[in-house]
Amino acid sequence: MQSANMLLRRIVGSSVLPFAAQHGMKKDLFPLSRTLSLSLCLKQDKSCEPSEKLDLDEWKKVMKSGLQEEVSETVSEPKELSSLAAARETLEMWRLAGRAVPENISEEQLKTFMECPSKSAKKKYLKYLHLKELHKKNDKRKMDEKRERRLQAQDQASKTDETKKSSFICMWSSVMDKAYNWRAAQSMIFGQPLVFDMSYEKEMSVREVTNTVRQIVLSESCNRKSVDPFHIHFCNFKDDSLYHREFIKQYREAWGKLLITVTDQCYTEIFPKEKLIYLTADSPKVMKTFDHNKIYIIGSMVDKTIKTGVSLAQAKRLGLETAALPLEKYLLWSTGAKNLTLDQMMHILLTLKDTADWKKALEFVPKRKYCGFVNKPIKELKKTLDLINTLKLGKGREEVQKQFAKSYPKK
């Protein structure tokens, strides 16, 4: 006991006191040090002399001392938290614990968060917001850097002070816009129709609808910029539907000026049935050539949870012809679903329309989904597929890889 006291005195004398004095809380120092930790100190002391000065519980004092002030500040705050505030508080704690949680969250997002039906749904939503925030920050940083660089460049340019002469006024973008619009207007009169079937709203979640609209916006812009655009139809389009609202969000004022046809009618009412072909990955029929006299229909749907046969069912119901892209025929498929995004479909169809070259068109299939183009007869391909399978199973890996590399040189 005596030795423990001695030790205590020694510790107090050496390290704690100056520290405590620094924080002005001398008086409630002693009750804080625990006997257990003291005994540990004792053991430590015997084992290694140099660390005798170390007070292992010092951090607790620091933590608590910082508090004293804080507590007195926050004491006046009302105890009861509204559910929203409580949720915000929880999020803050998650963020402190190092989980994927956004730093700033709006009231609306917080409400969506609270309405998530399960814990994992909440986690997913937060992760989504977190990533979105990160992207935004990154973009902003890049913008700033770019501006910086531009300013520097301008500075240098002004120093050289040289005026360039050119016969054109620099108005590229608006001139281009006019040219594009001219073409799109032409296509509205003479172009081949391409239908987006907007009847899948009820099959999708809000986020899927948002993604769908984004993809359609991308498709529309690449159509507009093509040499010979399609005449785009949005069929089964209900006013004030989720689609509609998302489109307005994306296009703002431009929504009213788009050179496309939007209608709440079904395509079967506008076009003769025998001319329609519904494009769906589930179709048993494979497209051989692009037919300039047919009207192709694309289902405006993003399905993150794989709903097989939804668009095939739609085509069956209306008694339409269906077709799938000949992905298997031209590509050595590796992973991923065969359904492509809407803008990829648009790129592929435009290329087919212009060139009728499948190889060129299927360049737009994401590279991760296939290993290479089929350049040999199917029989040999089968052998290769077997090779891939053994490769996956890990038998004689290197050897198989060599053979594979020989028969399918990477693009």
Partner 1 sequence: VQPPEKPLQAEEWNKLREDFQSPEIFEEVMLNSMIRCNSPIDVAKSLLTHLAKRNGDIAYNVLVKYLTLCVQQGQVSEICDVYDIMKVRFKILESGAYNLLIKGLSNSDQWRMALTLLEEVKKIMIPSRACYESCIKAASRHQEMKLAFELYDEMLAKDVVPTLDVLQSFFNFSRGMKDAELQKELFGILLYLRENQIYPHKTFMRSIKLWFESIPGGNWRGHLTNIKDSGQCPVCNHQLEDSNLTEEEYSNLSERIIRDVIHGTDTFRKTSPQEFEAFQTFVEDRLPFDIVIDGLNVSHIKPRKMQCENLFDAVNCLAKENARLLVLGRKHMLMNSSNWKREIMKEMQNKADFFFAENISEDDAFLLYATLRSGKHCKFVTRDFLRDHKACLPDSLTRHLFRKWQRGHQISKKNVFPLFFSQQPAFRYDCVVQTTGDTWHIPYKDVFEEKYSYQVPRKWLCIQQK
Residues that bind partner 1 (CB under 8 A): 19, 34, 36-37, 40, 44, 47-48, 50-51, 53-60, 62-64, 66-67, 70-71, 81, 86, 89-90, 93-94, 96-98, 284, 308-310, 312-314, 316-317
Query: In angstroms, what is the minimal distance from the CB of 78 to partner 1?
Result: 12
34 or 132: CB nearest partner 1: 34
94 or 333: CB nearest partner 1: 94
Classify 321 as helix, strand or coil: strand
96 or 169: CB nearest partner 1: 96
Query: In angstroms, what is the minimal distance from the CB of 59 to partner 1?
Result: 4
Query: In angstroms, what is the minimal distance from the CB of 160 to partner 1?
Result: 43
How far is residue 174 CA from its own chain's centroid? 31
Classify 201 as helix, strand or coil: helix
Query: In angstroms, what is the minimal distance from the CB of 157 to partner 1?
Result: 40
Query: In angstroms, what is the minimal distance from the CB of 43 to partner 1?
Result: 9
How far is residue 200 CA from its own chain's centroid? 22
Q: Is 228 left (phi over 0), alpha (psi -120 to 50) or beta?
A: beta
Distance separating alpha carbons of residues 176 and 196, to the nearest angstrom: 26
Query: In angstroms, what is the minimal distance from the CB of 183 to partner 1?
Result: 38
Structure tokens given for 253: 């004022």
Classify 327 as helix, strand or coil: helix
169 or 306: CB nearest partner 1: 306
Structure tokens given for 409: 């040189």
Return the closest-CA partner of residue 195 out of 99, 83, 334, 315.
Answer: 315
Q: Is 118 exposed, middle or buried (0-12, 13-18, 19+ CB in 10 A)?
A: exposed
Q: Which residues pair with 296 in a beta bridge?
A: 194, 277
189 or 306: CB nearest partner 1: 306
96 or 170: CB nearest partner 1: 96
